Structure 1
Amino acid sequence: MSADKPLPADEARSFTIADDDHDIRLDRWFKRHMPDASFNIVSRWARTGQLRLDGKRVAPGDRIAAGQVLRVPPLEALPEPAPRTKKERPPLSAEDQEFIESLVIHRDRAAIVINKPPGLATQGGTKTDRHVDGLLDGLRFEAEGRPKLVHRLDKDTSGALLLARSAGTAAHFAKAFSSRTAKKLYWALIVGVPSIEDGTIELPIGKQPGTGGEKMYVDEKEGLPARTRYRVVERAGNAAAWVELQPFTGRTHQLRVHMAAIGHPIVGDGKYGGQDAFVSGGVSRKLHLHARRIRIDHPDGGKLDVTAEPPRHFLESLQHLGFDMSLGDALPIDEPKFSETAEGKKKAANAAAKARRKERKGERRSRSGTK
């Protein structure tokens, strides 16, 4: 954090977001730098439009990026922001150093991609001491600073996780995610087989009341728009299917909520599928959701396009169900045009059939008129 101008307390001030605060929530920024500004005060500032980030209105739960400018309204009787004391991180053990390096599947000047195993959280939280964020000192390599997280995966979701190697590249990648030019493709095993094998799910998602924000649900009235494409790769009779999933929005737990909402929960997802999310007959009870591929614009030009191998339990389940691994990467990662989707093709076919019926009807009338 750095103040752009030393202004009196009765005037609005602006602060430039520091590298150490990149991609944290705005309310967390206030807890770090202005602990006397309560959540209620920050919420009131946001609600009345007094709080601005790069000149735009912002909410307490929004994430901020290094280099952005935060405008804070007059602080009334609040004291000056307290300088943040940097907490020293203990050095990694040799075991942790070896572990985090073993996860790297891509490295260049700007980015690192790791293949996150299931069971390892992306960031810390209640009762979570070991996480990717806490191991990032082990991925400095020749760079001065530690890499930075630019997106997340659920603790039990495995796969490709992108890290930026500087504040500048972090801002570049964060912009790609917020503008939805970054593309992610997942593999999943689901219970049952959808009647439409290549479809799109558009259901708004919100936080389920009474869960402390830890669980999401389909909220038709107040939920945020969410869109997912799915394609069935192979099916194991009617018991299970291997699907490719592509989120076109980035809501919390989006893929898990959407698949459960259409009656086909992801195998092992008891949180959203309950007991119906488990398949008998030797299939692992772990979550079968894997971030298979990520593609994003590289700061140096061109595309960064990385594929991550699934974890052991996922591969064993694919093998147990008799699926052919060579079929798994057929879905284009770009968002399809509506005319190319199953829904679009169906509507086009219906329109063509309607036109043919109308033409035949016209022919019958013509023949009737010549008699």
Structure 2
Amino acid sequence: MQENNPQDLENDELYEHYRFTAGSGQEPLRVDKFLMNFVENATRNKVQQAAKAGNVLVNDVAVKSNYKVKPNDVVRVVLAHPPHENLLVAEDIPLDIVYEDDTVIVVNKSAGMVVHPGHGNYSGTLVNGLIHHIENLPTNSNERPGLVHRIDKDTSGLLVVAKTEFAMAHLSKQFFDRTTERLYYALVWGHMDEDEGKIEGHIGRSLKNRLQMSVFPDGDFGKHAVTHFKVLERLTYVTLVQCKLETGRTHQIRAHFKHIGHTLFNDERYGGDDILKGTTFTKYKQFVQNCFKTLPRQALHAKTLGFTHPTTGEFMQFNSEVPEDISNCLEKWRTYSENSKDID
């Protein structure tokens, strides 16, 4: 968040980088603190410098950093250059392509790769690699070439990308109509008693931590979300589950499982990187820490993807192997579980 020279503002075209609308229940809060709650990687000094330069607007009026945000205020950050994610640069990044034809491409995304450029991640993303691999990818309303859905940076697995305008519209409608098939494998904390079930609850941005999503009572906040799950394996203090998405909200699986008390294993953002279940023995703590090192991310993999091909009408289904970091972590838990049975 870099500042402009105030004297240049009238002559320069300003580009909106952030826009947030304060909720109806917003208590008075300094705008610099407000923005720090919303903007990932923002520091108070950066926000204050931006405000000093006239780059922070509330209801289209430049404000100082001590301005108190009130209910329904529209807070914007404007800068003299376009957002970096709009300045897409083709990069020769190796892609794990599972399937490709003239209409669609299916990619198996590795953990750690961001899907599209955004604040703090302007290069090395899947989109940077895609526009190097394919010329003239269609764009959606968010200027994200070819994308009809996405998965989180530290989630691995399958994504379908549209190569034509028609394919983008066709696939987008399938995701909207919930006719696609998406199965995920997740390792969650705790022993799940039910063999299968359904988690239902509106998902929206947390009112306490803007980098998290929360589950709200129906009708209060957020959007309707449904996750179906089936237990695949119980491993003492963790459970491997298969999740079927009925809807596709941001962080849906991560938020839903935290909501029912089974946070994803090593999900730092949602507190799964703490030892949430188990014993107080030092040996056990060391074991879990070793598991965290083996799997240094949330234990979530988009394993199966199915959709109707936009031009042939054929229902296509793709399956990906569970990546090595998750497999190795599971093996550690299997060994631990077997040894625990021997002790019992």
TM-score category of the 2 structures, normalised to the smaller one:
0.5 to 0.7
Superposed counterparts of 1:102-141, under 5 Å: 103-129=96-122, 130-140=124-134
Deviation of residue 105 (structure 1)? 1.0
SS of the residue corresponding to residue 106 of structure 2 reads strand
Give the gaps of 5 or more residues in structure 2. Answer: 1-12, 22-81, 139-144, 279-284, 336-344
Inter-partner Cα distance in structure 1 for 2:91 and 2:323:
25
Query: For 1:1-371, what aligned pairs fall within 5 Å after superposition?
Result: 90-93=89-92, 96=93, 99-100=94-95, 103-129=96-122, 130-140=124-134, 145=137, 148-212=146-210, 214-220=211-217, 221-237=220-236, 239-274=237-272, 275-276=274-275, 280=285, 281=287, 282-283=290-291, 284-299=295-310, 300-322=312-334
2:322 is paired with a residue whose SS is coil
Cα offset, 1:144, TM superposition: 5.6
SS for the counterpart of 1:173 is helix
| Residue number in structure 1 paired with 2:52 | none
Deviation at 1:277, TM superposition (A): 5.5
* Cα distance between partner residues in 2 of 1:194 and 1:154: 24
* Aligned-pair CA distance for 1:322: 2.9
Inter-CA distance 320–164: structure 2 relative to 1 (3 Å threshold):
same
Q: 1:23 maps to what in 2? A: none
1:226 corresponds to which letter in structure 2?
A
- AA in 2 matched with 1:137: I
Unaligned ranges ≥5, structure 1 = 1-32, 42-83, 324-371
Q: 1:123 to 1:243 in 2, by over 3 A?
A: same
Structure 2 CA distance for partners of 1:278 and 1:105, relative to 1, 3 Å: farther
Q: CA deviation at 1:289?
A: 0.1
Pair 297,270 (structure 1): closer, same or farther in 2 beyond 3 Å: same
**1:89 offset after TM fit, Å?**
5.2
CA contact (8 A) 2:117 2:127 kept: yes
Q: CA deviation at 1:270?
A: 2.2
Q: % of aligned pairs identical?
A: 30
Letter of the structure 2 residue corresponding to residue 228 of structure 1: T
TM-score (normalizing by structure 2): 0.62
From the CA coordinates, give the structure whose radius of gyration is larger. 1
Once the two structures are superposed, residues 101-134 of structure 1 have per-residue CA deviations (whole angstroms, 9 ceiling, x without a partner) of xx10111222111110111111111211221111
Specify whether residues 88 and 222 from structure 1 end up closer, same or farther in structure 2 by C-alpha distance, changes over 3 A only: closer
Contact 1:193–1:235 (CA<8 Å) still a contact in 2? yes
In structure 2, what residue type is equivalent to 1:115? Answer: N
User: Is contact 2:90-2:130 (8 Å) kept?
Assistant: no
SS of the aligned residue for 2:131 comes to: helix
Alignment partners' CA distance in 2, 1:293 and 1:123: 21
Letter matched to residue 235 of structure 2: A
2:173 partner SS: helix
- 1:223, CA displacement in angstroms? 3.0
Change (3 A) 1:120 1:35: closer
Q: After superposition, give the CA deviation of every residue in 1:127-171 in whole Å (9 maximum; x if it has no partner).
A: 11221111112322xx66476111000111100011111111011
| C-alpha contact (below 8 Å) 2:156/2:302 kept by paired residues | yes
Say if 1:269 and 1:277, in contact at 8 Å, map to a contact too: no
What secondary structure, in the 3-state scheme, does the structure 1 residue paired with 2:334 have? coil
Q: Tell me the alpha carbon deviations over residues 10-55 of structure 1, each in whole angstroms, 9 at most, x when there is no partner.
A: xxxxxxxxxxxxxxxxxxxxxxx9969x9799xxxxxxxxxxxxxx
Whole-angstrom distance in 2 between the partners of 1:278 and 1:123: 35
Cα RMSD (Å):
2.9
Structure 1 residues 267 and 39: alpha-carbon distance in aligned structure 2, compared to 1, 3 A threshold: closer
Is the Cα–Cα contact under 8 Å of residues 121 and 128 in structure 1 kept in the other structure? yes
When you count strand as a share of all residues, which structure comes out higher? 2
Match of 1:66 in 2: none
Give the AA of the match of 1:121: V
**What is the distance in 2 between the residues matched to 1:193 and 1:106?**
37
Residues 228 and 247 in structure 1, CA contact (< 8 A), matched pair in contact too: yes
Distance in 2 separating the partners of 1:135 and 1:242: 32
Cα displacement string for residues 317-338 of structure 1 (whole angstroms, at most 9, x for unaligned residues): 1222339xxxxxxxxxxxxxxx
Q: Distance in 1 between matches of 2:188 and 2:14?
A: 46
Cα offset for 1:179? Answer: 0.7
Task: Judge conservation of contact 2:268–2:297 (CA < 8 Å) in 1.
Answer: no
Q: Which residue of 2 aligns with 1:20?
A: none
Supply the distance in 2 between the matched residues of 1:235 and 1:196 (Cα, whole angstroms).
Answer: 11
Q: Is the partner of 2:105 in helix, strand or coil? A: strand
Question: Partners of 2:329 and 2:148 in 1: how far apart?
Answer: 30
Contact 1:234–1:243 (CA<8 Å) still a contact in 2? yes
How many pairs does the alignment contain? 236
